[in-house]
């Protein structure tokens, strides 16, 4: 009985594909984004946002959605989200240019998955000007067959559009054979809606909150994730 049960167990290394959220997951940058948006909200919009408010209400949403929510709190003449997206890109890119925020252990995992034959993609609510230079700096860009950013979708997370687009572009037909690394509640909602298998990276939300939305939690990304039992 034990041997039969073991033979049906699938590890990450045996899956068909792996999709990665970017901010707070592939890139260890959630605190950078938080500080960036809190400062921008204060200096450009006259809106005060606490760290707790950001983590509870904004973390995991696309840059466009975060900015729209900030502007909804601002007084004075109405301003357009597009006025601020360039500022966000420039501030983030300047930070990444000084130091890669993708950890060496995370790079090892991506390379190991690629070597194992899994098809890989990034699916994020961030913009291409943020994501592509960061992936290139870390030496990972060529390992991802697809990068889906905010510009590529009409609906952000928790809608599954981004994950579904990435799977289709990679030729992955069975969502139950696709693992997704996520760190936020909107992201986990999108994984569930897509019918894929979530691997949740701790840090953005309290562990007890994440555990209500994901069966598999890991403290960080690294090559040891290849042996995670996913089903």
pLDDT per residue as tens digits for the range 81-133 = 999 999 999 999 888 888 899 999 999 999 999 999 999 999 999 999 999 99
pLDDT tens by residue, 131-141:
999 999 999 99
Confidence at residue 1, expressed as pLDDT on a 0 to 100 scale = 40
Answer yes or no: is pLDDT of 9 > 90: no
Answer yes or no: is pLDDT of 6 > 50: no
DSSP 8-state symbol, 155: S
Confidence at residue 97, expressed as pLDDT on a 0 to 100 scale = 83
Residues of the chain with CATH 1.10.150: 31-98
Give percent of the chain above pLDDT 70.
97
* Separation of CA 226 from chain center: 18
Task: Provide the residue count of the chain.
Answer: 231
Q: How confident is the model at residue 202 (pLDDT cuts 50, 70, 90)?
A: very high
Residues 190, 193, 194, 199, CA torsion sign: positive
The pairs formed by 141-145 with CB atoms below 8 angstroms and a separation of 24 or more are 143/110, 143/111, 143/114, 144/110, 144/120, 145/119, 145/120, 145/121, 145/169, 145/170
Q: How confident is the model at residue 4 (pLDDT cuts 50, 70, 90)?
A: very low
Beta strands in the chain (DSSP E): 17-20, 119-123, 146-148, 178-182, 197-201, 216-218
Residue 25, both tokens: 């997951």
**Over residues 31-48, mean pLDDT:** 94
Answer yes or no: is pLDDT of 66 > 90: yes
Class of domain 2-29+101-227: alpha beta
Answer yes or no: is pLDDT of 224 > 50: yes
pLDDT tens by residue, 173-198:
999 999 999 999 999 999 999 999 99
Considering the domain delimited by 31-98, tell me its CATH architecture: Orthogonal Bundle (1.10)
**Over residues 153-163, mean pLDDT:** 96
Distance, in Å, from the CA atom of 162 to the CA atom of 89, rounded to the nearest integer, reads 20
DSSP 8-state symbol, 56: I
Confidence at residue 98, expressed as pLDDT on a 0 to 100 scale = 85
CB-neighbour burial class of residue 89 (10 A; exposed 0-12, middle 13-18, buried 19+)? middle
Distances (CA, A) of 36 to 8, 81, 94: 46, 15, 11
* Separation of CA 144 from chain center: 14
Confidence at residue 2, expressed as pLDDT on a 0 to 100 scale = 45
Residues of the chain with CATH 3.40.50.1000: 2-29+101-227
Q: How confident is the model at residue 8 (pLDDT cuts 50, 70, 90)?
A: low
């Amino acid at each position: 009985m034990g041997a039969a049960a073991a033979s049906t167990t699938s590890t990450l290394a045996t899956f068909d594909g792996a999709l990665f959220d970017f901010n707070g997951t592939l890139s260890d940058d959630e605190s950078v984004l938080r500080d960036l948006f809190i400062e921008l909200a204060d200096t450009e919009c006259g809106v005060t946002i606490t760290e707790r408010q950001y983590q509870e209400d904004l973390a995991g949403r696309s840059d466009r959605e975060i900015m729209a929510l900030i502007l909804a709190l601002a007084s004075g003449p109405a301003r357009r989200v597009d006025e601020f997206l360039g500022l966000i890109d420039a501030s983030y890119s300047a930070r990444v240019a000084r130091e890669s925020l993708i950890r060496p252990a995370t790079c090892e995992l991506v390379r190991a998955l690629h070597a194992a034959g899994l098809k890989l993609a990034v699916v994020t609510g961030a913009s291409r000007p943020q994501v592509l230079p960061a992936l290139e700096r870390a030496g990972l860009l060529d390992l991802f067959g697809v990068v889906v950013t905010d510009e590529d979708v009409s609906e952000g997370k928790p809608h599954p559009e981004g994950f579904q687009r990435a799977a289709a572009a990679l030729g992955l037909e069975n969502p139950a054979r696709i693992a997704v690394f996520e760190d936020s509640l909107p992201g986990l909602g999108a994984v569930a809606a897509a019918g894929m298998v979530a691997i949740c990276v701790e840090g953005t939300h309290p562990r007890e909150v994440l555990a209500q939305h994901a069966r598999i939690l890991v403290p960080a990304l690294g090559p040891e994730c290849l042996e995670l039992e996913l089903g």
